[in-house]
């Protein structure tokens, strides 16, 4: 049954399709342009995502290396205030000195006199030796100073048969052209005598000794150490010497007399007093002592 209509011929179908496409092309093009101007909503941009000739190139990394800086300068050393500085740390005595009594007993020239090469040092009543104490504190100081950029030179690290002798200890600092040198010790005074003190070089000249150039800077180094050591440890200056200042000048120590660089000794406490000994044998206290020494040196070198 027919409704009076007939299917279009092939020719008519082609013409109709051409007309439809002609009408749709401008509409699609206009829609694409509007979408492109709005940008990809995921990227948040308003620029076409189609690649350009340069869009696939990778920008070179910012200069400045691991610090991430873009200036081309070396790593920022603001957290390493001792970069370029040389510090000599002299751990007093040597754990092996006791095995070489004749070697450490021989005399050496300290410029103004003769003195024994070295000694065994003192010890607490329980047998904790000064030589063990000085090595432990000195190693802690070394770590702190190296973290701040300093080059740290030891006079001995428990790796020698004995010594070195006091004249060689001074010479190690001189040859290193140290900006500062500190000899770490603990005292062996009578019980009841408590506290720490810093020994400064006296003004001496004679034989191979001439401290005229280092007494001033050594005094400044010593003063910084007293302040920072006391603050770090809570210890008070010695009650048996130095009139409460924590400073003592001596002219009989070869390690000071023969030094040509700023140098001091620090006696961190009295090993023969039970209260001081309780601190000296405590690892946490020794860490605080090391921090005080390291900060005193840092203050001096950054003056």
What is the Cα–Cα distance from 176 to 156, expressed in whole angstroms? 14
CA–CA dist 93, 129 (Å, integer): 10
Q: Which of 130, 171, 228, 267 is catalytic?
A: 267
* β-pairing verdict for 114-116 and 107-109: antiparallel
Question: Tokens 């200036």 map to which residue?
Answer: 71
> How many helices, marked H, and strands, marked E, lie in the chain?
8, 10
Q: Give the pairing of strands 151-154 and 86-91.
A: parallel
Asked whether the bond before 164 is cis by omega within 30 degrees of 0, the reply is: yes
Say if residues 106 and 253 touch (Cβ distance below 8 Å). Answer: no
Q: Write out the H or E segment, with its range, that includes residue 152.
A: strand 151-154
Please name every residue paired with 201 in a beta bridge, in sequence order, or none if there are none: 250
Give the whole-angstrom CA distance, residue 253 versus residue 167. Answer: 9
Beta carbons of 92 and 165 less than 8 angstroms apart: no
Distance CA 242, CA 223 (A): 12
Token pair of 226 as six digits? 């007293």
Classify burial at 36, counting beta carbons within 10 Å of its beta carbon; exposed 0-12, middle 13-18, buried 19 or more: middle
**171: annotated active-site residue:** no
- The neighbour count for residue 256, using CB atoms within 10 Å, is 30
**Hey, which residues are catalytic here?**
267
């Amino acid at each position: 049954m027919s409704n009076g209509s007939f299917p279009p011929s092939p020719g008519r179908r082609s013409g109709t399709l051409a007309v439809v496409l002609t009408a749709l092309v401008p509409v699609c093009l206009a829609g694409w342009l509007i979408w492109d101007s709005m940008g990809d909503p995921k990227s948040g941009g308003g620029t076409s995502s189609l690649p350009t000739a340069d869009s696939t190139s990778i920008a070179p990394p910012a200069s400045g290396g691991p610090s991430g800086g873009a200036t081309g300068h070396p790593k920022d050393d603001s957290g390493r205030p001792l970069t370029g500085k040389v510090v000599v740390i002299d751990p007093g005595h040597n754990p092996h000195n006791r095995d070489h009594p004749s070697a450490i007993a021989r005399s050496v020239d300290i410029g103004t006199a003769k003195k024994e090469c070295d000694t065994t040092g003192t010890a607490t009543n329980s047998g904790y030796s000064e030589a063990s104490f000085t090595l432990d504190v000195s190693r802690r100081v070394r770590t702190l100073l190296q973290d701040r950029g300093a080059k740290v030179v030891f006079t001995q690290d428990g790796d020698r048969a004995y010594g070195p002798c006091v004249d060689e200890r001074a010479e190690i600092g001189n040859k290193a052209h140290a900006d500062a040198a500190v000899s770490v010790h603990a005292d062996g005074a009578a019980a009841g005598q408590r506290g720490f003190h810093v020994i400064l070089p006296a003004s001496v000249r004679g034989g191979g000794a001439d401290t005229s150039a280092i007494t001033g800077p050594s005094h400044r180094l010593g003063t910084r150490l007293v302040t920072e050591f006391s603050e770090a440890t809570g210890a008070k200056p010695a009650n048996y010497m130095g009139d409460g200042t924590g400073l003592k000048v001596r002219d009989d120590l070869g390690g000071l007399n023969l030094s040509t660089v700023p140098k001091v000794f620090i006696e961190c406490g009295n090993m023969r007093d039970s209260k001081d000994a309780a601190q000296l044998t405590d690892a946490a206290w020794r860490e605080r002592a090391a921090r005080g020494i390291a900060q005193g040196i840092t203050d001096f070198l950054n003056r």
